[in-house]
Chains A and B, each alone.
Chain A
Amino acid sequence: MALTALRDAVRELVRDGDTVALEGFTHLIPHAAGHELVRQGRRDLTLIRMTPDVVYDQLIGMGCARRLVFSWGGNPGVGSLHRLRDAVERGWPAPLELEEHSHAGMAAAYAAGASGLPFGVLRGYRGGDLPSHTRVATVICPFSGEELAAVPAHRPDVGVVHAQQADRHGNVQLWGIVGVQKETILASDRSIVTVEEIVDELELRPGGVVLPSWVVDAVCLAPGGAHPSYAHGYYDRDNDFYRGWDEISRDRERFLAWMQCHVLETADVGEYRASLEQAVVA
């Protein structure tokens, strides 16, 4: 593990064509890392994420993705992801292949990946139309004979999460809603963790998840790096941003102008945050 700049971590660890998972279930969504992928113009990515959310709407709209593996693709509490829909319904800016699962299937696939197993097993995918459109199979329990669903393990080339804290050795702790971040890091070949703060010593939190430095490739300081999602104990979810994104993302030109102004023309998360504050003042 190395404490490194996010720009350098993304340059060294993420390649065009990689399978990349940015996780964080409504909380601690690694937006700063997503923006860096956009700035560096990564292409042909297979993006894995349970809830693609605004972070993947931006990557898809900027043409970074070839394929999306997901289970719920909306703007939580608001409505559609318009860039995702435009890619699927009209192939803009490029066609997007979908591999669609249920939440339970995605969670089982991450857990299998973290466990080094080839597939996850669950009582799921029953009866609906999804199994005929995705990668899921039936396995028979060797003990009871029960039919169960098998989903192929997620094994991302790169896993990316955001956490509250790391210490100077690169040990990471995140707490609050912890989602599937531990599974994502352990399932991935390489990993990047952005953090709100570097501290001298981690103070262990109830329900906290600790990722020892030796399972993480790069730890990058990115305060505010989860915005517009939130970092428990640091800042709240920017609900107005999510509501506002509906309008920004609805129109291709407006979306591109927004990405130009707030992502491509900013160097890092600090400048991104400053550009948003300026936009509010103006």
Chain B
Amino acid sequence: MTTSFTADEMMAIQAARRIADGTVCFVGIGLPSVAANLARRTHAPHCVLVYESGTIGAKPVELPLSIGDGELAETADAVVSVTEMFAYWLQGRRIDVGFLGAAQIDRHGNLNSTVIGPYDTPTVRLPGGGGAPEIATGVRDVFVMLRQSTRTFVSKLDFTTSLGDNVRVVVTDLGILEPREGELTLVAVHPGTDASTARSATGWELRVADDLRETEPPTVAELTALRALRTKGER
């Protein structure tokens, strides 16, 4: 079995490792869903996957393309209305970890998923915040997953969609950032990259931890479990 892996696989595995068994995760589609499902299939069989469509304790066999795929409801412990999901479960502070992505992030972990350019005359109209504003303030720990580039890691957001107060980790294709003294700091780099690469992919003067380490590469077991997860409809 080959031990080579893609940047997306590395990101999913790094995020999955941070999900402790029993954690209640609010999961979005894409890499967060991959990471949470991988954690559930490996070291965290009792982590609870909550999708904002109202499925609590979903155990999909195939990865969903949308947060409301039928398999999520079929395998869930409970299915609740969207109203109840946001009011009782998220606002009720029953979620440990929430995953967010974005088009832009700043040094404080604030995120923009709303517009590029001015709000009223945007150059790019992005999908918008969806659940993000209340996920960012309503969960205990926010995990951000983003590819690192100067386009994404910016000194000033075009729009603040959600606050960075609860961001505990940012997993990128280059390494791992954590807040230290109120500012995202590079604490680890993936094998094959280094701090200067991460610095040049960051639109602000990136702080690098004195104890910068290298992330553990994926194990064969992790890659096998990850590759067994397939998105519905993809063969």
A237 to B114, CA, bound (A): 27
A207 to B134, CA, bound (A): 26
B124 interface hit (Cβ, 8 Å) = yes
Range, interface on chain B:
35 or more
Range, interface on chain A:
35 or more
B160 A129 Cβ-Cβ under 8 A: yes
Please list 5 pairs of residues, one from A and one from B, whose beta carbons are closer than 8 Å in the complex, sorted by A's number: A81-B127, A108-B87, A123-B134, A179-B68, A237-B65
A253 to B178, CA, bound (A): 47
Q: 7 closest A-B pairs (Cβ-Cβ)?
A: A26-B68, A74-B127, A72-B130, A76-B66, A77-B65, A239-B233, A104-B86
Residue numbers in A under 8 Å from B81 (CB-CB): 178-180, 182-183, 209
Residue numbers in B under 8 Å from A125 (CB-CB): 133
Per-position binary interface string of chain A over residues 165-180, scored 1 when its CB falls under 8 Å from any chain B CB and 0 otherwise: 0000000000011111
User: CB within 8 Å of B: which residues of A?
Assistant: 25-27, 50-51, 70-74, 76-78, 80-81, 84-85, 88-89, 100, 102-104, 107-108, 110-111, 122-130, 133, 176-180, 182-183, 207, 209, 230, 232, 236-237, 239-240, 242
Residue numbers in B under 8 Å from A80 (CB-CB): 126-127
Closest residue of chain B to A240, judged by CB?
Answer: B233
B149 interface hit (Cβ, 8 Å) = no
Per-position binary interface string of chain B over residues 61-82, scored 1 when its CB falls under 8 Å from any chain A CB and 0 otherwise: 0001111111011000011011
> Within residues 79 to 137 of chain B, which ones have a CB less than 8 A from any CB in chain A?
79, 81-83, 85-87, 90-91, 110, 114, 119-120, 122-134, 137
Residue numbers in A under 8 Å from B130 (CB-CB): 51, 71-72, 102-103
Residue numbers in A under 8 Å from B110 (CB-CB): 128
Most buried by A among B65, B68, B129: B68
User: CB within 8 Å of A: which residues of B?
Assistant: 29-30, 52-55, 64-70, 72-73, 78-79, 81-83, 85-87, 90-91, 110, 114, 119-120, 122-134, 137-138, 159-163, 165, 231-233
Looking at chain B's contact residues, the main secondary structure is loop
Residue numbers in B under 8 Å from A179 (CB-CB): 53-54, 68, 81-82
Question: A73-B128, A80-B127 known; A130 and B83 CB under 8 Å?
Answer: no
Q: Which of A78, A133, A232 has a CB less than 8 Å from the CB of B70?
A: A232
With A111-B83, A123-B91, A127-B163 given, can you name 8 additional A-B contacts, CB distance below 8 Å?
A76-B65, A84-B125, A100-B114, A124-B134, A128-B163, A130-B161, A179-B82, A242-B65
A113 to B64, CA, bound (A): 32
B160 A178 Cβ-Cβ under 8 A: no
A107 to B81, CA, bound (A): 9
